[in-house]
Amino acid sequence: MLALPPDAILEDIANEIAGVERIDIHFPSFKDGRGFSLAARLRERGFEGELRAVGNLIPDQARLLKRAGFDRVAPDQSGQAERWNAALTAFSGDYQPAEDKTEPAFARRARKTRAALADALNADYADRPAREVLAAALDRFKGRIAVLSSFGAESAAGLAMIAEIAPDTPVFFLDTERHFAQTLDYRDALVKRLGLTNVKILRADRDEAAAEDADGQLWRRDSDACCALRKVRPLARALAGYDALITGRKRYHGGVRETLEPFEFDGVRIKVNPLAGWSREDVQAVFEKLDLPAHPMVEQGYVSIGCWPCTAPASPANVRDGRWRGQDKTECGIHQPLAAGGQGGPLL
């Protein structure tokens, strides 16, 4: 166990914290908020042991202590367990984000508004052509919308449409540092050919990669963890400040994509799927009409192209069969619905 004053400087005691199972943070006064900040910073830095608040505390602070990351509390006055535990449920909602990741009231309201907007847009555009869906989304979310592209086998068809309507739209490319060299060359050639002016390359955080994939073999041990490191988290960071994201997913890809609508709410922002209703023939028709270059690996039997360790040739009739072959997995996680956080148990 380690006892800390509220003004402790974490950088000075990093070695003392390592391996500790419980940390007590002292509150000299219930009016002193430094202990809350110290607890939150410990959690942010990855401390997973028990945090206990000790000292001059009052039951009204119970919920705030829990939200800051405390597991237990040892107030100067004992015999108040019932009051402390009742205080945890005295309020049904929170108004600020905190370490417990509980969804604040403003975020709940925004979530409901965006879900309703996705429903309304689908009602208006369910049967509209892809170009109309895309144009409406670019206009509706102007300045707050981006495109996600793998620069894979079918990407040129959707990107050509973007280039025609708004070539300065941000285009996110997740560089996992595991792509085929042909994909990187194709990306550069396609950007130049279409005149896309705002391509953004996203990569894993260097510190996270060093800690989680020091030997570069994470994909062998845990493909989900590799995708989270190199795709899910980099995209989440890049999307801060954006309200909508355009994808190239299509229903004929199968699996969870079979029920795609032009607009969907993922729990945080709206996904725009203008090509959801396209067939393989529709894609090919656009390639031919615009004389678009094919990804060089298509002629080798690759119909869906991702990272080289997790991509194999597949039948055109089953597009996603070539991804993570041999695993019970067809998606990397970047399109998973996002859920709000929960609340913890009693402090005493």
| Catalytic annotation, residues | 332
Q: Rounded to whole angstroms, how far apart are CA atoms 69 and 343?
A: 11
Q: Rounded to whole angstroms, how far apart are CA atoms 311 and 325?
A: 7
CB 295 within 8 A of CB 153: yes
Contacts of 199 (CB under 8 A, 6+ apart): 170, 171, 173, 187, 191
Give SS3 for 47. Answer: coil
* First-to-final CA distance of the chain: 18
Query: What does the DSSP assignment read for 51-96?
Result: EEEEES--GGGHHHHHHHT-SEEEESS-S-HHHHHHHTTS-S--SS
